[in-house]
């Protein structure tokens, strides 16, 4: 997996196996004279064929001089362990909490995307002392406001044994499959997809046993209705949403934000952007994160 300059790979053990993460470890970000009590930013990637911490790799180095930055590959993704199991929501609620507890000694700001951002909301509800603030990109449970994603045609198709593995190996975990998905579904503009992105997703998608987590996601095993939980959130939160996100529209985000304006204090729609502005427009995403870090600190 492509690794930014000055970052190294480390790991911790969770109840489901080894979880790899990336953090600044030396020059140009750190030297022996620097203070070691920097505020921590945790960057968490979303789900989809080939997802990994690479998703945030064009963003998190911009914060390494001022903050302690950590970016994990979630269990089942990237270079972390890939247990052969049908993954459930509680698997990620548990391992995300374990990761933060083991790597951080004070409340953190979590910066997360899509379904993982929805998981972070639930972790913050259950363990609010772990978090200082949340900055979330398109947080959605994928089955929000009574919609049942698991009943969709594609979810039903990949629920069929043998068909699921065929679809993954021939339609998802290939160079053409990854590129087509990025260009047609994940990005608003296909010309923003370049070969390095395709290669990073493909490397993660083709890791041994990578299909277990990916198919659990595609089947809908990890989806839930976030609207049933968001009212309980107390952590100061900002949301940004790609206007052209094909999976969950910005209107869903607005409805979620309106349920709990006391906690969700900022909501921003990004024009002509898809699901992952952190890859499609990283400079804009960096600027917004910086803005929200300041605004949430003052609220």
CATH number at residue 192: 3.40.50.1820
Instruction: Tell me how many domains the chain contains.
Output: 1
State the greatest distance between any 2 C-alpha atoms of the chain, in Å, as a whole number. 57
Structure confidence at residue 118 (pLDDT): 98
- For 155-166, give one letter per residue: b (16+ CB within 10 A) or e: beebeeeeebee
What gap in Å lies between CA 53 and CA 73, rounded to an integer? Answer: 5
What gap in Å lies between CA 20 and CA 79, rounded to an integer? Answer: 6
Residue 223: pLDDT band by 50, 70, 90 thresholds? Answer: very high
What is the bridge-based pairing of β-strands 68-72 and 17-24?
A: antiparallel
pLDDT at 1 over 60: no
pLDDT at 298 over 80: no
pLDDT at 255 over 90: yes
Residues in contact with 95: Cβ distance below 8 Å, sequence separation at least 6, in sequence order: 14, 15, 16, 19, 74, 75
pLDDT at 225 over 70: yes
Tens digit of each residue's pLDDT (9 = 90 or more) over 5-45: 999 999 999 999 999 999 998 788 876 655 668 999 999 99
Asked if the structure places residue 1 within a domain, the reply is no
Structural domain including 127 reads 7-297
Structure confidence at residue 26 (pLDDT): 79
Phi, psi of 121 (to 5 degrees): -60, -45
Q: What is the mean pLDDT of residues 83-105?
A: 97
pLDDT at 299 over 70: no
For residue 203, whether the previous peptide bond is cis, meaning omega lies within 30 degrees of 0, is no
Residues of the chain with pLDDT > 70, as a percent, come to 96
Chain-wide mean pLDDT for the chain?
A: 93
Tens digit of each residue's pLDDT (9 = 90 or more) over 150-188: 777 767 777 777 788 888 898 889 999 999 999 999 999
Q: What is the mean pLDDT of residues 63-84?
A: 97
Asked if the structure places residue 2 within a domain, the reply is no
Q: Closest Cα partner for 17 from 87, 68, 113?
A: 87
Residue 290: pLDDT band by 50, 70, 90 thresholds? Answer: very high
What gap in Å lies between CA 183 and CA 191, rounded to an integer? Answer: 8
Asked if the structure places residue 129 within a domain, the reply is yes
Asked if the structure places residue 98 within a domain, the reply is yes
Asked if the structure places residue 69 within a domain, the reply is yes
Q: Closest Cα partner for 70 from 5, 22, 1?
A: 22
Structure confidence at residue 171 (pLDDT): 86
Structure confidence at residue 35 (pLDDT): 62
What's the full length of the chain, in residues? 299
Task: Report pTM.
Answer: 0.95
Phi, psi of 71 (to 5 degrees): -140, 105
Q: Where are the alpha helices (DSSP H) in the chain?
A: 89-103, 114-126, 153-157, 163-166, 175-181, 195-205, 210-219, 250-259, 277-280, 282-297
Tens digit of each residue's pLDDT (9 = 90 or more) over 140-160: 999 999 888 777 776 777 777
């Amino acid at each position: 997996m492509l690794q930014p300059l000055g970052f190294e790979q480390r790991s911790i053990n969770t109840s489901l196996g080894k979880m790899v993460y990336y953090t600044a470890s030396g020059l140009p970000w750190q030297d022996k004279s620097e203070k070691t009590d920097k505020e921590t930013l945790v960057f968490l990637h979303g789900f989809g064929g080939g997802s990994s911490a690479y998703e945030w790799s064009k963003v998190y180095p911009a914060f390494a001089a001022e903050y302690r930055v950590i970016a994990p590959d979630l269990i089942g993704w990237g270079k972390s362990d890939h247990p052969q199991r049908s993954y459930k929501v509680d698997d990620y609620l548990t391992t995300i909490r374990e990761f933060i507890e083991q790597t951080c000694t004070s409340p953190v700001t979590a910066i997360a995307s899509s379904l993982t951002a929805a998981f972070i909301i639930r972790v913050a509800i259950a363990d609010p002392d772990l978090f200082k603030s949340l900055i979330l990109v398109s947080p959605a449970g994928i089955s929000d406001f009574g919609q049942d994603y698991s009943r969709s045609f594609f979810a039903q198709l990949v629920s069929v044994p043998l068909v699921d593995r065929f679809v993954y190996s021939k339609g998802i975990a290939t160079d053409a499959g990854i590129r087509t998905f990025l260009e047609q579904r994940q990005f608003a503009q296909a010309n923003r997809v370049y070969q390095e992105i395709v290669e990073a997703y493909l490397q993660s998608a083709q890791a041994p046993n990578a299909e277990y987590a990916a198919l659990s996601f595609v089947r809908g095993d990890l989806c839930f209705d976030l609207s049933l939980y968001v009212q309980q959130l107390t952590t100061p939160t900002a949301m940004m949403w790609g206007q052209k996100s094909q999976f969950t529209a910005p209107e869903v985000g607005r409805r979620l934000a309106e349920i709990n304006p006391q906690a969700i204090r900022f909501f921003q729609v990004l024009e002509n952007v898809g699901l992952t502005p952190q890859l499609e427009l990283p400079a804009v995403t960096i600027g917004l994160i910086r803005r929200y870090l300041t605004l949430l600190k003052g609220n």
